[in-house]
Amino acid sequence: MSARYRTAGFKGYAVKFSPFTDRLLAAATSANFGLVGNGRLCILNTPVSGTQGLQPRQQYDTQDGLFDLSWSEVHENQLVTASGDGSIKLWDITLGHHPVASWKEHSRETMSVEWNYIAKTSFLSSSWDGSIKLWAPNEPRSLRTFNDHVGCVYTGAWAPRQTDQFASCGEDKTVKLWSVNEPNAKPIASFSGHVDQVVSLDWNKYSPNMFVTSSTDRTIKVWDIRNPRSNVSMFGPFEFPVRRVKFSPFSPNFVATAGYDMSASIWDIRNGSVVFVHDAHSEFVFGVDWSFFHPGMIASCSWDEQIHVFNAPIPK
């Protein structure tokens, strides 16, 4: 199965399947490559077996570009978005065209948002202003701010088993491990090894000490938090950098990537082999995600103004 939807006039930056239903997909998009202009949050119905095409359900236009999104872990119809004006907005897809809540504390672009899928009551944001912030959807201000990176923080990602821990990566070539309970809001570990900006990070859901990163140094690295001094393995350097990495929710061995080579690929981290390539995009691929309900179902979004949903045959 392969299904497509055109986000006419808007470049895709992030795409996420709903954790509550196998029929909903959301995408964060930006006009003019996110440099200036509006953003659009697209809510799509994914195709049922035997039908083609992604069907638009709802869309929300914003005054600035959208760079990321995260579905709520407590309310099946809500999600948060990260915007180029530094704001974070909470949306309810059953309501009209305005957010149900909005926060603006970041002084530059908000690059990532992620709901805590274990504790479920809070979410993270990271920004070009060098900070990571902890939020609760019912609170008017952030709960805590974490400052230790120099330059943009591209991703903040919750640990899969520890409800208080998360990792972040950034322009300063480092990955940092944090606890929201650390009194001084300083990292509890730092990982160095990339020689350029670290732009994406994701945790292995089955090996909770393991995470994967990608960098503009054109490599992918796998790490163990018990050994901050050295990565476990490295793949690359490639011809083009990988923009986003995402571990499979069904296996500890496979990572999906979205890259500047205009493809979405599946990697086996046991041996560094590519087991599947989706090469139907015609521009940089910025977003990739796995379905929580259908093993091998993957969504991708690209600067070619296309969202694709496809099935990748994953070996054992």
E-strand stretches of 181-272? 189-192, 198-203, 210-215, 220-224, 233-235, 242-247, 254-259, 264-268
What is the pTM (predicted TM-score) of this model? 0.96
Report the distance separating Cα 251 and Cα 267, nearest Å: 12
Amino acid letter for position 248:
S
Provide the token pair at 145. 């701010």
pLDDT at residue number 53: 80
Could you write out the DSSP letters of every residue in 85-96? Answer: TSEEEEEETTS-
Looking at the DSSP assignment, which residues form a beta bridge with residue 36?
none
| CA nearest neighbour of 216 among 181, 172, 176, 182 | 172
pLDDT in tens, the chain (316 residues): 689 999 999 999 999 999 999 999 999 999 987 677 899 999 999 976 545 689 999 999 999 999 999 999 999 999 999 999 999 999 999 998 899 999 999 999 999 999 999 999 999 999 999 999 999 999 999 999 999 999 999 999 999 999 999 999 999 999 999 999 999 999 999 999 999 999 999 999 999 999 999 999 999 999 999 988 889 999 999 999 999 999 999 999 999 999 999 999 999 999 999 999 999 999 999 999 999 999 999 999 999 999 999 999 987 7
For the sheet with 306-311, list strands across it. Answer: 2-6, 306-311, 297-302, 285-290
Chain-centre distance of CA 308, in angstroms? 16
pLDDT at residue number 229: 84
pLDDT at residue number 78: 98
Report the distance separating Cα 195 and Cα 189, nearest Å: 18
